[in-house]
Amino acid sequence: MPPVGQRTDISQPANAVLVTLVHGTFARGTSWTQDGSTLRQRIAEALQVAADGIIFDVFEWSGRNTHRARIKAGHELAAHIEAVRKILPASCRHFIIAHSHGGNVALLAHKHLPEELHALGIATLGTPFVYARLEDGVKGKSLEQLLEEAPRHKDHINWVFAWAAGIFSAIFADGVLEGTAFDEFYWAIGSGVLSGLLASYLFEVIYPLLARAWHMVGGRRAAAILADKVRFPDIPNTHVLSFIYPRDEARLLLDTLEATTSLPSRPIRWIRSIAQPAAKTAFFGLIALGFATAVAEEFVSFDQDAVGDMIGHWFSVIAVGTFFIWVALVTVRYVLSFLRGHPWGFGWERPSLHAHVEIGIAPTADLPTAKSYLHQEVPFSAHAPQSGMRHVGLYEDVRILQALSYWMTHVR
């Protein structure tokens, strides 16, 4: 693949320094990467005494604010670096300076580069580092293992399915057998129990097939794939340096969006955790109540129909109420996920992923291995450049550029 960005054509001395500049979201053609920018001038002045030549290389990507765009840009940057390094000496020192989400792109690119082409240093300015933390049931498992475990809810759902089939069968049998020789409660109860057992055995065969088919397009598999794609690689030969301003506008926005989907997820998990024991209790409880009222009617005078109606009423209130609360919470989470997935937020995420993976941003990168990693929060002051937002002033702040230049001069 030919280089995607633009490169300044100069000589290629053995002690040259290659500096690749990577812009952030919505910032194609941004001024700080171009000739004459403050960042270029400061770095050139610092490195000219420590290098025989300085090559500024600009990599441009789509700049779209989606996981897919950043993952794709990582592949493109890797191909771009390979193409550029082919025409430079092997001894050439390579640095990457990236702003905002360009930092994520720079780190992801190293998943697709041979270790000998890893950059000597990666410096990020105001990067909101993306992370994905899988739930315990998904974490550390391959896609093949997840596929085998796809019917993991079989026992839970089987209970509900058998219970529902048994209850409806008992109600139906009670109406059909009324006025016949079999007009006794135990025939209806027996019909319900038998129907529930048959439904359970049938479900044992059908559900695994349905579950595996659903898994191929479901949230667990998609969550595992996304988490793997946004996970940063081992970069044992690369130094990493990151700068941020406190209360950076982009970081505050993303922190707020991150909270929106975590809040409704907590009661959803709680309701899900009590659904199975509640269904089992209701199943056996209704059978026990049916026998109890039928036996008690032989000794105590009371209106069995009234008792049955009361039990059915309160059961319906609890079941329907819980169902609607569940639907409301899931709907809220889905709506918030769509807002969070807007291009001004994290970029598109499937709402169903939030049940299986926590996706967010952090001020520091979760790097498995790096030669060194320095993170600096730079106090914002009135003397710092004012370019509308703090987030876009990082690459003009003289304090940051001095520290960056010193770092590039001394790391080996």
- pLDDT beyond 70 at 78: yes
Q: Is residue 196 situated within a structural domain? A: yes
CA 171 from chain centre, in angstroms, equals: 45
d(CA 352, CA 223): 9
Q: Is residue 149 situated within a structural domain? A: yes
Q: Is residue 27 situated within a structural domain? A: yes
Structural domains in the chain (count): 2
**Is pLDDT larger for residue 245 or for residue 147?**
245
281 and 210 in a common domain? yes
197 and 50 in a common domain? no
- pLDDT beyond 70 at 14: no
Which of 41-50, 103-112, 239-248 is least confident? 41-50
Query: What residues make up the domain containing 310?
Result: 143-224+254-358
The length of the chain, given as a count of residues: 412
Mind listing the pLDDT tens digit for each residue in 373-397? 999 998 876 555 555 567 888 888 8
158 and 21 in a common domain? no
Q: Give the pLDDT confidence score for residue 339 in this predicted structure.
A: 63
388 and 274 in a common domain? no
Interacting residues of 407 by C-beta distance below 8 A, sequence separation 6+: 121, 123, 239, 241, 374
- pLDDT beyond 70 at 258: no
Mind listing the pLDDT tens digit for each residue in 139-159? 777 777 777 776 666 666 677
Can you tell me which residue has the tokens 């709402």?
Answer: 351
71 and 203 in a common domain? no
Contact between residue 368 and residue 232 where contact means Cβ atoms under 8 Å apart:
yes
- pLDDT beyond 50 at 282: yes
DSSP letters of 290-333? HHHHHHHTTTS---HHHHHHHHHHHHHHHHHHHHHHHHHHHHHH
Q: State the pLDDT confidence band at 106, using cuts at 50, 70 and 90.
A: very high
- pLDDT beyond 90 at 207: no
Q: Mean pLDDT over residues 96-109, rounded?
A: 97
Contact between residue 68 and residue 348 where contact means Cβ atoms under 8 Å apart:
yes
Q: Mean pLDDT over residues 247-274, rounded?
A: 70
**Is pLDDT larger for residue 403 or for residue 270?**
403
150 and 11 in a common domain? no
406 and 354 in a common domain? no
327 and 212 in a common domain? yes
Nearest to 378 by CA among 352, 405, 398: 398
Supply the CATH number for residue 57's domain: 3.40.50.1820
Q: Is residue 41 situated within a structural domain? A: yes
- pTM over cut 0.75: no
Which of 240-254, 273-287, 391-405 is least confident? 273-287
209 and 91 in a common domain? no
Burial class (CB in 10 A: 0-12, 13-18, 19+), 278: middle
181 and 283 in a common domain? yes
Q: State the pLDDT confidence band at 296, using cuts at 50, 70 and 90.
A: low
Q: ∠ at Cα 32 (88, 50), nearest 5°?
A: 45
Element (H, E) at 357: strand 357-362
d(CA 400, CA 390): 13
d(CA 27, CA 13): 32
Q: Give the pLDDT confidence score for residue 406 in this predicted structure.
A: 93
The mean pLDDT of the chain is 79
